Amino acid sequence: MITRIKRLVHHYYWDFDYNCAKTMLFCLGEFFDICFEKQTLNAATGMHGAGRFGAQCGLVEGALMFMGIYFVRAGKSDAEVERICYDFAAKFTKEFGSLRCDELRPGGFTAADPPHACEPLSVAAVDFAFNYIKKLDRGRLA
């Protein structure tokens, strides 16, 4: 699975120049057979640390957006989805050390940043989110 994730993350970053939130959405969407409305993708446009501000990581935001879509579709209540998102954020923080983009991004943000500096982190985060969702929904996922 990690080889597939690496290929997809690279594809979405370098072929489409998507940000981390859109990349997370598209990867999870492909794995769980979810298509997105244009409006959802538009909403993810500024979700890479709040437009490079350094706030919440777009990888987290993309995963949380996906879980809202996926688990509501699976029949979970708003309260259940909220608990799932809370638990994901706690586990993500434990795994990666933070939810903040400026703390997770290698070197933070500078004018001289190379493009897609978070690609290795993105691969790890997509893998983490995929496995988190898969564990919650055993037996229904491919």
**pLDDT tens digits along 99-129:** 888 888 777 666 677 778 789 999 999 999 9
Establish if 39 belongs to a structural domain.
yes
Beta strands in the chain (DSSP E): none
Establish if 92 belongs to a structural domain.
yes
pTM (2 decimals)?
A: 0.89
Establish if 141 belongs to a structural domain.
no
8 Å CB contact between 118 and 59: yes
Number of folded domains in the chain? 1
* Segments forming the whole domain that contains residue 10: 2-136
Establish if 142 belongs to a structural domain.
no
Establish if 48 belongs to a structural domain.
yes
* Residue 39, H or E segment: helix 38-43
